[in-house]
Chain A
Amino acid sequence: MFKWLEKNLPKIVMAPAVGLIGWFVYGFVLWTLYISFTNSKILPKYELWGFGQYEKLWASRKWLISVDNLLVFTALFLIFCIVIGIILAIFLDQKIRAEGVLRTIYLYPMALSFIVTGTAWKWILNPTLGIQKMFIDWGFENFTFDWLVNREMAIYTIVIAGVWQSAGFVMALFLAGLRSVEDEIVKAAKIDGAGLFTVYWKILLPMMRPVFFTSFVILVHISIKSYDLIVALTQGGPGISTTMPALFMTQAAFHKSQVGLSAASAMMMFMAVAAVIIPYLYSELRRENAR
Chain B
Amino acid sequence: MQDNLQSFSYKKLEQKSKYTNMFLRWFLYFVLILFASYFIFPLYVMVVTSLKTMEEIRQGTLLTWPSSLNFDSWLVAWGGRGYGAGDTFLRPYFWNSIKMVVPAVFFSTFIGAMTGYVLTKWRFKGDQWVFLFLLFGCFIPFQAILLPMARTLGTLGISNSVVGLVLVHTVYGIPFTTLFFRNYYISVPTELVKAARIDGAGFFKIFFKILLPISAPIIVVTVIWQFTQIWNDFLFGSTFSFGEAAPIQVALNNMVLSSTSIKEYNVDMASAIIAGIPTLIVYVLAGKYFIRGLTSGAVKG
- A residues bordering B, Cβ < 8 Å? 6, 9-11, 13-14, 16-18, 20-22, 24-25, 27-29, 31-32, 35, 44, 84, 87-88, 91-92, 94, 96, 102, 104-117, 119-124, 126, 129-131, 133-134, 137-138, 164, 168-169, 172-173, 176, 214, 218, 221, 224-225, 227-228, 231-232, 235, 245-246, 249-250, 253-254, 259, 262-263, 265-267, 269-270, 273-274, 277, 281, 284-285
Contacts and interface: CB of A to CB of B under 8 A. Distances in A.
Interface string B150-178: 11000000000000000000011011001
Given A113-B275, A129-B265, A10 B122 contact: yes
A87 B31 CA distance: 9
B272 interface: yes
Interface stretch (B67-75, B98-106, B214-222, B278-286): B278-286
A284 B132 CA distance: 11
Given A111-B290, A284-B300, 15 more contacts: A14-B114, A17-B174, A20-B171, A88-B32, A106-B36, A115-B232, A116-B272, A116-B273, A119-B271, A121-B42, A123-B268, A129-B265, A172-B295, A269-B143, A277-B139
Nearest to A225: B141
Contact of A270 (B36, B144, B249): B144
A253 B147 contact: yes
Interface string B43-64: 1011001000000011011110
A91 B238 CA distance: 40
A119 B271 CA distance: 9
Contacts of B147: 31-32, 35, 44, 253, 259, 262-263, 266
Contact of B61 (A133, A164, A235, A267): A133
Contacts of B239: 250, 254
Interface in B233-250: 233-235, 238-239, 249
Contacts of B298: 169, 173, 214, 218
B39 A91 contact: no
B39 to A, nearest CB: 5
Q: Mostly helix, strand, loop or mixed at chain B's interface?
A: helix
A35 B143 CA distance: 13
**Residue among B61, B151, B249, B284 with the highest chain A CB neighbour number at 10 A:** B61
Contacts of B287: 104, 107
Interface of B: 28-29, 31-32, 35-36, 38-43, 45-46, 49, 57-58, 60-63, 111-112, 114-115, 117-119, 122, 124, 130, 132-137, 139-151, 171-172, 174-175, 178, 202-203, 228, 231-235, 238-239, 249, 252-253, 256-257, 265, 268-269, 271-273, 275-276, 279-280, 282-284, 287, 290-291, 294-295, 298-300
12 contacts: A13-B203, A28-B144, A88-B35, A107-B291, A111-B276, A115-B249, A116-B232, A117-B276, A270-B141, A273-B141, A277-B136, A281-B136
A47 B272 CA distance: 46
A249 B143 contact: yes
Nearest to A126: B265
Nearest to B256: A119
Given A113-B249, A250-B143, A122 B114 contact: no
Nearest to A161: B42
Contacts of A254: 150, 239
B140 A17 contact: no
A161 to B, nearest CB: 9
A232 B143 contact: no
A214 B136 contact: no
A91 B31 contact: yes
Contacts of B275: 113, 115-116
Contacts of A112: 232, 276, 279-280
B64 to A, nearest CB: 9
A254 B298 CA distance: 30
A24 B141 contact: no
B146 A249 contact: yes
Given A115-B252, A269-B143, A227 B149 contact: no
A29 B112 CA distance: 22
Contacts of B43: 108, 120
